[in-house]
Structure 1
Amino acid sequence: MTTFDEREQAFEAKFARDEEMQFKAQARCNKMLGLWAAEKMGKSGVAAETYANALVTASVEDADHEDVVRKVTADLQGHVTSDEIRQKRAALLPAAQQQILSEAS
């Protein structure tokens, strides 16, 4: 194997790892958003975890993050706007990424 082939494989492996980490961070962010939304709905404990996990499952099935925003907006029935949900999700994403990176270390 040539140095070029080894370098190409290293780049591909890094890309795959980065994509996996981003996927996990997005899922973690959606779970955190789900727990936040569950709290807004007055859910706690197992009910909050169940709601958050359902949100993660839905986000994995529908890779569009706007689907998550629409679901949470509908579930909160006008108590919080879509823009507020997007802002909350954007605020949670760095924390989710940090958690995933620290777990990988």
Structure 2
Amino acid sequence: MTTFDDRERGYESKFAHDANLRFKADARRNRLLGEWAAGLLGKEGDDARAYALTIVTSDFEEPGYEDVFRKLAADLEGKAGESEIRTKMAELMEVARRQILDETQ
């Protein structure tokens, strides 16, 4: 085995690890968004948790974040505007990343 092979395997491992962390952070962000939106919609308890799950699953419709945004925008019409939703998405992504990183250390 050469040093090049070892280095390549190391990069592949890091890429897989980073992709896994990114997936977890996206899912966490979506759950947090769902909890935030549920509060705006007046949902509590099991209803809020069920709603948050619909936000998590909405991310599987297409690559990227627009599917989540569209779901939230439709559900929160009259309660939150585009800029507020997008700002909250960015804010909660940072929160989710920190939480995931803290859990892995």
User: 2:16 corresponds to which residue?
Assistant: 16
Any unmatched runs of 5+ in structure 2? none
The residue type equivalent to 2:82 in the other structure is S
- SS class of match (1:79): coil
- SS class of match (2:42): coil
Q: How does 1:1-105 map to 2 (within 5 A)?
A: 1-105=1-105
- SS class of match (2:60): helix
The residue type equivalent to 2:86 in the other structure is R
Give the distance between the partners of 1:50 and 1:63, measured in 2 at CA: 23
* Greater RCO (CA < 8 Å, at least 6 residues apart): 1
The residue type equivalent to 1:2 in the other structure is T
Give the distance between the partners of 2:62 and 2:24, measured in 1 at CA: 15
The residue type equivalent to 2:37 in the other structure is A
Which has the higher mean CA deviation after the structures are superposed, 26-35 or 73-82?
Answer: 73-82
Q: CA RMSD in A?
A: 1.0
Per-residue deviation, residues 8-53 of structure 1 (Å, max 9, x unmatched): 1001100110011011101100110010000000001111110111
The structure where helix makes up a greater share of residues is: 1
1:104 is displaced (CA, Å) by: 1.5
Task: Provide the TM-score with structure 2 as the length reference.
Answer: 0.94
Give the distance between the partners of 1:70 and 1:78, measured in 2 at CA: 14
Any unmatched runs of 5+ in structure 1? none
The percentage of counterpart residues that share the same residue type is: 50
Q: Name segments (4+ residues, structure 1) moved above 3 Å.
A: none
* Equivalenced residues, count: 105
Give the distance between the partners of 1:52 and 1:77, measured in 2 at CA: 17
